[in-house]
Amino acid sequence: MSSENPAPNHFIRQIVMDDLDSGKHASIATRFPPEPNGYLHIGHAKSICLNFGLAQEFGGRCNLRFDDTNPAKEEQEYVDAIKEDVTWLGFHWAELRHASDYFELFHRCALRLIQDGAAYVCDLNAEEVRAYRGTLTEPGRPSPYRDRTIAENLDLFARMRAGEFDDGARTLRAKIDMSSGNINLRDPALYRIRKVAHQNTGDAWCIYPMYDYAHALSDAFEGITHSLCTLEFEDHRPLYDWCLDRLPVWAMPELADELARLELKPGRSRQIEFSRLNLDFLVMSKRKLLALVTDGLVSGWDDARMPTLRGIRRRGYTPEALRNFVRNAGVTKQQSVLEYSLLENEVRNDLDVRAERRLAVIDPLRLTITNLPADHDELLTLSNHPKDESCGTRQVGFSSQLVIEREDFMEVPPKGFHRLVPGGEVRLRSVGIVKCEEVIKDDAGNVIELRCTLDLTSRPGGTGSDRKIKGTIHWVSTRHAMQAEVRLYDRLFTVADPDDDHDGKSYRDYLNPLSVRTVTAFLEGSLKAVEPESRFQFERLGYFVADRLDHRADRPVFNRICTLRDSYAKAK
């Protein structure tokens, strides 16, 4: 099995250890808070590994919480997919929560804010609010409704809640500072009117809380100690803290019954930001990913080329490799773009250790052994893993009628070519050394068959088996082979930064037309009855996985996860 090294230290882990050492927290609590409006991608893996990983390492707890405060965008389908993906990645949540579980609590808190004179109902519409807000460099102006009386605010808010007003007609706003340099503090909206059914609460509410308000309170309700999020929320932190300063939910009697009902143990949380995970040669924004799907540029969210967790899984990447990748990437506040090779490297590391070896030919060239009877039929016993005997052995059929990889033969080889050439010798993996005696061509001059003799003494255990030969190539016996659809994947984009839209280009202009190639390959017969998602190394070709969705015993489909490193190809 693959090994996962201990967690390297990073600034958030250090904060956690300090808080534990100082006694600020007896144990920690984190949460992974996705909005169920799309599928999870590699970027989310960082947040998942960080939140769940920290809780795991320090004996704390980590909740999965759906940030479902905007019913217009969210769907149950995504909730289900996210749960499945988190589980696949290898994590278990302490509790499954929804922000919508707390709608009653949010509402009571809003009442408290109004009573404290810290929030008011504003009648400005969206456009007017924007005009009053000012700009990045100019302060905003107070809303004409800013100084309503508490009684008036209470009455208006009750009527908002009762559905008396249209969508967008009014908002509940925090009364903070219209001249703040931080735009988030210029009386941000706390509640808006949306007469939309919610996938969880149905028609119970027509006012829904905004992210900043709901998120800070949700963290506090759940007793989250460390609320980890990405850098773009850095200047939301003052608002996060404002909410908890005004609403010490752990000490508000009017919340007690509801908190008890939900079995919540609230506490004050601290928001800490880290930089997102970005990868080159990929796009990661939900919008662009969605466009790839809806425009049919890929086959779906689970297309094996997609950077979604479902796509990555479909492709055959292992959760272990993904976790190692994220761990090695580290956690900082520096914006960064990781090289895709880091991820591939982890996949190869993991699979080299655990994937059994098989023989397969994806671009066949006929090879006949002329000094063996035409009906020669033999079962060879091959080891499943060169470095792990516990993987056992398997039987592979061998005959005089074989196919080899077309690129393993060249009539006019370049210098340094170690494979088959006319009159030359090469070792057939686990069989022995063959010599190419004759090259058969069709009328067009294409090589269609190689006729070779096998040096019988070079067979395993034979007197000449140790004879040094430069090259070893793989093969499959046609009589014993099965054919299968094999999908050869390559990167989806041709440039390192597909998001770069200079020169009027867009990521669509950088799509790799060769990102998938489907071929019919010859596979050794032992591959016949494998389960979907089982992974193998096809020797010298790469790592392959039986497709999770399409693979069937009677119609096998394999995906290439990644190639092997190929120093020869690189040298060419």
Partner RNA sequence: UGGGAGAUCGUCCAACGGUAGGACAACGGACUCUGACUCCGUUUAUCUAGGUUCGAAUCCUAGUCUCCCAGCCA
Catalytic residue list: 35, 276, 286
Return the structure tokens found at 485. 């659809």
Rule CB under 7 A: is residue 241 a binding residue for RNA? no
Beta partners for residue 523, in sequence order: 360, 482
44: left (phi over 0), alpha (psi -120 to 50) or beta: alpha
Rule CB under 7 A: is residue 234 a binding residue for RNA? yes
First-to-final CA distance of the chain: 35
Rule CB under 7 A: is residue 540 a binding residue for RNA? yes
Size of the site for RNA (CB under 7 A): 99
- Which residue's CB is nearer to RNA, number 125 or number 257? 125
- Which residue's CB is nearer to RNA, number 33 or number 303? 33
The correct pick among 146, 418, 435, 479 for binding RNA (CB under 7 A) is 418
Calpha distance 96→83 (Å, rounded): 9
DSSP 145-177: TTT--HHHHHHHHHHHHTT-S-TTS-EEEE---
**Three-state SS at 107:** helix
Rule CB under 7 A: is residue 14 a binding residue for RNA? yes
Rule CB under 7 A: is residue 333 a binding residue for RNA? yes
Stretch that binds RNA, among 40-48, 161-169, 258-266, 482-490 (CB under 7 A): 161-169
Site for RNA in 271-290 (CB under 7 A): 275
- Which residue's CB is nearer to RNA, number 192 or number 313? 192
Could you tell me the sign of the dihedral formed by the alpha carbons of 30, 35, 41, 42, in that order? negative
- Which residue's CB is nearer to RNA, number 261 or number 470? 470
Nearest one of 534, 527, 86, 553 to 354, comparing CA atoms: 534
Task: Print the binding letters for residues 440-469 with RNA: x by CB under 7 A, - otherwise.
Answer: ------------------xxx----xx-x-
**Is there a contact between 130 and 108 (Cβ–Cβ < 8 Å)?**
no
The correct pick among 55, 129, 217, 562 for binding RNA (CB under 7 A) is 129
Site for RNA in 202-221 (CB under 7 A): 208, 210-212, 214-215
CA 385 to centroid of chain Cα atoms:
29
Calpha distance 343→50 (Å, rounded): 17
DSSP 27-52: S-EEEE---SSS--BHHHHHHHHHHH
CB of 384 to RNA, least distance (A): 9
Site for RNA in 500-539 (CB under 7 A): 537, 539
Rule CB under 7 A: is residue 354 a binding residue for RNA? no
Calpha distance 456→450 (Å, rounded): 18
Beta partners for residue 96, in sequence order: 64
- Which residue's CB is nearer to RNA, number 187 or number 303? 187
- Which residue's CB is nearer to RNA, number 143 or number 400? 143
Rule CB under 7 A: is residue 148 a binding residue for RNA? no
The correct pick among 233, 510, 536, 558 for binding RNA (CB under 7 A) is 233
The correct pick among 27, 76, 336, 518 for binding RNA (CB under 7 A) is 336
Rule CB under 7 A: is residue 334 a binding residue for RNA? yes
Return the structure tokens found at 338. 């990781």
Site for RNA in 40-99 (CB under 7 A): 67, 69-70, 73
CB of 232 to RNA, least distance (A): 4
The correct pick among 84, 235, 490, 550 for binding RNA (CB under 7 A) is 235
- Which residue's CB is nearer to RNA, number 299 or number 395? 395
The correct pick among 56, 199, 299, 472 for binding RNA (CB under 7 A) is 472
Alpha carbon of 72 to those of 37, 97, 100, 245, 443: distances in Å? 9, 19, 14, 30, 65
